[in-house]
Structure 1
Amino acid sequence: MAMLRLASRPVVILSSLFFPGASPPSISALTRPYTLSSSIISRAFLRPPAASLSAAATAAAPAPQLSEPPGSAPHGELDPSYLSCSMPGKRLRVAVLLSGGVDSSVALRLLRAAGHSCTAFYLKIWFQEDFENFWSECPWEEDLKYAKAVCEQVDVPLEVVHLTDEYWENVVSYIIEEYRSGRTPNPDVLCNTRIKFGAFMDAINSMEYDFIASGHYAKVVHSSNHIDNASELKLSEDMVKDQTYFLSHLSQAQLKRLIFPLGCISKNEVRKLAARFDLPNQDRKDSQGICFLGKIKFSEFVARHIGEMEGIILEAETGDFLGNHRGFWFYTIGQRQGLRLPGGPWYVVEKDTKNNVVFVSRNYFSVDKRRRLFRVGSLKWLIGAPPTEISQLQCKVRHGAGFYNCSLSLELGENGQEDVAVVQLPEDDQGLAAGQFTAFYQDRTCIGSGVILESWNDQGFPVCQKALEIARMEDKSKLGKPVKIKVKPEGTVG
């Protein structure tokens, strides 16, 4: 057993993961309740929130004018359509998640323009200190500086919330476990479910906010009877930026408490509003990367928290030894970047996690490599139960504007309790990866999601017997030097 001490936490790499007989961890971690540090309140909030509006005062409050209140927009009235997703006319107390970026800043200003009483919250987690020495200054300091400047423009209080332990226990440990097991997790889904609208939502439960808001591109439609009837998660007006995929694993209880002001406008309009509001961060680029990692590259995250272990790369069809890699956890099915092999393009088609072997092919998109039937576990339905009509749904297998028409059937999983959905697509998708989420839709409503399991069509990419036997060799030094890769013939499907 090898131990790497990374940051202030020991990360243990079990050698049994790389040899036959080891069993991968279960994805049932998704169904476990997240944990919340008991000290979050005492060390998180810099000052108490503003006094709560009483129910009577809320009911009696006059509807806000569509013209902006002082400090909201200096150049005339807003088009009423901009406020459509901000629940104008209700005079609510809203906790606004503010990252320092343009989207959440515009969301805050729209809520103010709709007449709501807002308090901004900046979530600070351990990654930001852990990678501090990668840059001349901490990346979160710039984010927090912009968040403060945005709040000062309109006299909105800003609180800093420390979620160090919560993020490690509920997101990072799961991500590391999944990568070690050869799966490809989606940390953004877990961030939303367990941190932004999980640990944070629980932390402010006693503070009597009516809703929590963020800069996500999605719509939430609340019924007139907000307490008893289900709220719906709808697609954003901007289909390219739509983020319902990342929100698809929320519970109904979480959804009932959310507002997404940007769900009714496009990204282009958000940029125009940022300039109109003269936001101090109006020219900032959109953040990229894994959830809260910000500037940290994925490879840096994996190397720092799992380490590296050299393994071999084999051609799936021939078993030829093509080269070496840094560890199977750096690669996902369908990946072509980072292989550093000539004569490509080469794609990762399978991984042997027990023996730390990566199989590649130049024929990933060949017509005989079918990828249209797969299983999905850890299902969560936003209405609490599976849809009654499951033969004509739509689904997303990754973030983006693309949908598939699909049908699904439900069956009991291996444990005999949890439902597993068998999903049928009308065409092949070569990028299906175990550990990623599939989100399901009926028309423009997101109805739930689950995690793609290891198998589809009863097998993965066909790996030849020679390659499988080489992968099981204990002493791979006997392979000698990698073969000289031949140039791929012209006109070959790849």
Structure 2
Amino acid sequence: MLRVVSTLRPLLRSPLLPGPKPLPRPRRPPRPFRALSSAAPLAASPPSAPSPAPGAVEFREEHLVRCAAARRAPLRVAVLLSGGVDSSVALRLLHAAGHSCTAFYLKIWFQEDFRNFWSECPWDDDLKYAQAVCDKIDVPLEVVHLSDEYWNHVVSHMINEYRNGRTPNPDVLCNTRIKFGAFLEAIENLGFDYIASGHYAHVVHPPFENAEGPSVLQLSKDEVKDQTYFLSHLSQPQLRRLLFPLGCITKDEVRSLAVQMDLPNQARKDSQGICFLGKVKFSEFVQRHIGEMKGTVDDTSLFYGTI
């Protein structure tokens, strides 16, 4: 049963938009962790197995479970689940590896603010798919309302920057201040060892004998889908708490694995827009909040210092 979590709202509302509150360092060092990037490569199928169809990706789930730290003692993992294929496969891998998983759907939509832009609820399908995936895997799903935090710490900052001629990336801000900021602070005392998501990235954690060493963000196996740029502003206290099970898998392999796992959303298309806008065009959003300014467009392609 879906339970709405209304208590995970720790951030104070502030019109001054200060930077994200520094996350407290864990009271104890992380448990020994086998770096995701050291996972063994995908093993070939045995000789007796039938040949795959042309263009198909053939592999077995037990090989990919290694990407979810299968050789570790069971962990308590909070998994960010969006309803998309990537986060669903990440959840399934961690669950198959024997970890105790709880899925969290972060609701950051502003349907009240954009009621004239759409007639349907923009996050309804996402939540239905997330619930269907959790029902199939048999893990609990919690819904966390963070729309106020998102507005105060991401959207308002972005609008102010656009007014001043700067163009921050909202996904970088969301990862730093919301997904691995406000949410991480909210569950700090709930006993979870790590937070996991469906990002295409690696986090290589220090060995147990050097627990105070840095956790290192590295490129994923899929260089096209790699998302380390959007995670590049994360701090050490944030990185030390993260798992990215898809870091050693390509997008094609994720799609094939979703079919193999028979996930309810296996055929769902990837989202393309900015997460909080849904079907609203970003240009419409900017125009609504900061208006338009007249000016001269220089299309000569000449820039000072380039000749």
1:32 paired with 2:16, answer no
Kindly state the Cα deviation for residue 298 of structure 1 after the two structures are TM-superposed. 0.5
1:85 paired with 2:85, answer no
- Greater Cα radius of gyration, structure 1 or 2: 1
Q: Give the Cα separation in 1 of the matches to 2:89 and 2:279.
A: 22
How many residues are matched? 258
Q: Give the Cα separation in 1 of the matches to 2:128 and 2:281.
A: 23
Aligned residue among 77, 80, 88 for 1:97:
80
1:117 paired with 2:117, answer no
Kindly state the Cα deviation for residue 85 of structure 1 after the two structures are TM-superposed. 3.0
- The answer for the alignment partner of 2:235 in structure 1 is 251
Question: For residue 87 of structure 2, what is the amino acid of its counterpart?
Answer: S
Aligned residue among 299, 302, 307 for 2:286:
302
Where do 1:414-493 residues align within 5 Å?
A: none
- The answer for the alignment partner of 2:152 in structure 1 is 169
Change (3 A) 1:167 1:177: same
Change (3 A) 1:194 1:285: same
Q: Which has the higher strand share?
A: 1
- The answer for the alignment partner of 1:198 in structure 2 is 181
Residues 91-129 of structure 1, C-alpha deviation per residue, up to 9 Å, x if partnerless? 111000000111101110111111111000000124244
Identity over aligned pairs, percent: 66
Aligned residue among 285, 290, 311 for 2:294:
311
Question: For residue 217 of structure 2, what is the amino acid of its counterpart?
Answer: L
CA contact (8 A) 1:175 1:185 kept: yes
- The answer for the alignment partner of 2:44 in structure 1 is none
CA contact (8 A) 2:109 2:277 kept: no
Q: Give the Cα separation in 2 of the matches to 1:84 and 1:370.
A: 50
Residues 420-446 of structure 1, C-alpha deviation per residue, up to 9 Å, x if partnerless? xxxxxxxx9xxxxxxxxxxxxxxxxxx
CA contact (8 A) 2:154 2:170 kept: yes
- Report the RMSD for the aligned CA atoms in angstroms: 2.5
- The answer for the alignment partner of 1:360 in structure 2 is 298
Kindly state the Cα deviation for residue 34 of structure 1 after the two structures are TM-superposed. 4.3
Kindly state the Cα deviation for residue 134 of structure 1 after the two structures are TM-superposed. 2.3
- The answer for the alignment partner of 2:277 in structure 1 is 293
Q: Which runs of 5+ in 2 are unaligned?
A: 1-15, 24-30, 33-57
- The answer for the alignment partner of 1:221 in structure 2 is 204
**1:293 match: secondary structure:** coil
Q: Give the Cα separation in 2 of the matches to 1:289 and 1:35.
A: 29
Q: Give the Cα separation in 2 of the matches to 1:291 and 1:79.
A: 32
Kindly state the Cα deviation for residue 89 of structure 1 after the two structures are TM-superposed. 2.1
Residues 372-409 of structure 1, C-alpha deviation per residue, up to 9 Å, x if partnerless? xxxxxxxxxxxxxxxxxxxxxxxxxxxxxxxxxxxxxx
- The answer for the alignment partner of 1:469 in structure 2 is none
TM-score w.r.t. length of structure 2: 0.78
Q: Which runs of 5+ in 1 are unaligned?
A: 1-27, 37-57, 60-74, 315-358, 372-427, 429-494
TM-score w.r.t. length of structure 1: 0.49
- The answer for the alignment partner of 2:220 in structure 1 is 236
CA contact (8 A) 1:98 1:147 kept: yes
Q: Which has the higher helix share?
A: 2
Q: Give the Cα separation in 2 of the matches to 1:160 and 1:35.
A: 24
Kindly state the Cα deviation for residue 76 of structure 1 after the two structures are TM-superposed. 9.8
Q: Give the Cα separation in 1 of the matches to 2:128 and 2:93.
A: 21
Kindly state the Cα deviation for residue 227 of structure 1 after the two structures are TM-superposed. 4.0
Residues 301-334 of structure 1, C-alpha deviation per residue, up to 9 Å, x if partnerless? 112222x24513x3xxxxxxxxxxxxxxxxxxxx
**2:68 match: secondary structure:** coil
Q: Give the Cα separation in 2 of the matches to 1:105 and 1:215.
A: 7
Residues 194-249 of structure 1, C-alpha deviation per residue, up to 9 Å, x if partnerless? 00000000000111101000010000111122742211101000001000000000
Question: For residue 269 of structure 2, what is the amino acid of its counterpart?
Answer: K
Kindly state the Cα deviation for residue 296 of structure 1 after the two structures are TM-superposed. 2.0
